[in-house]
């Protein structure tokens, strides 16, 4: 639970990620700890994946954010954190992964494309939240990426 402030600082240093309140990050590290992953080195937060099981679709995990510090980039940390999340007990019955990404975030699109390939699953893309309709022009359109179905990695 005490990692929330470190997570908040990490996300703030990872543009183009949207920052949330420190309170939100504290909730992610406490209420959603089972579906989040923190990577540390020498007690410093180097990476964070936040997610949650969609209440009406418990076979689907929604990955909210993936953040990796500039010092840890290029070493596959994001991929390893996503794999660890899918192998967690909380994701025992998960067969689908969803996330939203803005079209200009090529690194995230590539990350999730690589994940889909490693899982032997398809990846579909559609508009989740439209720039004008949902954000009133204040944020870029968020595209939904849906990966699956796949065999839960913790049941192989």
pLDDT at 154 over 70: no
pTM over 0.85, yes/no: yes
Nearest to 27 by CA among 47, 55, 54, 7: 7
pLDDT at 2 over 90: no
Q: Which two tokens stand for residue 24?
A: 């939100």
pLDDT digits (tens, 9 = 90+) for 24-62: 999 999 999 999 999 999 989 999 999 999 999 999 999
pLDDT digits (tens, 9 = 90+) for 67-117: 999 989 999 999 999 999 999 999 999 999 999 999 999 999 999 999 999
Confidence band of 155 (pLDDT split at 50, 70, 90): low
For strands 123-129 and 96-101, give the pairing.
unpaired
Q: What is the set of domains in the chain, with CATH numbers?
A: 4-155 (3.40.630.30)
């Amino acid at each position: 639970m005490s990692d929330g402030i470190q997570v908040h600082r990490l996300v703030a240093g990872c543009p183009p990620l949207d920052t949330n309140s420190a309170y939100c990050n504290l909730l992610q590290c406490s209420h959603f700890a089972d579906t989040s992953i923190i990577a540390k080195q020498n007690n410093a937060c180097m990476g964070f994946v936040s997610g949650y099981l969609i209440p009406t679709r418990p076979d689907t995990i929604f990955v909210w954010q993936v953040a990796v510090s500039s010092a840890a980039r290029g070493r596959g940390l994001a991929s390893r954190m996503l794999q660890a999340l899918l192998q967690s007990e909380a994701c025992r019955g998960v067969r689908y992964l969803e996330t939203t990404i803005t079209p200009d975030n090529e690194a995230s699109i590539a990350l999730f494309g690589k994940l889909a390939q490693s899982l032997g699953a398809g990846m579909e893309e559609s508009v989740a939240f439209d720039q004008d309709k949902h954000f009133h022009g204040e944020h870029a359109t968020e595209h939904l990426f849906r990966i699956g179905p796949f065999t839960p990695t913790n049941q192989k």
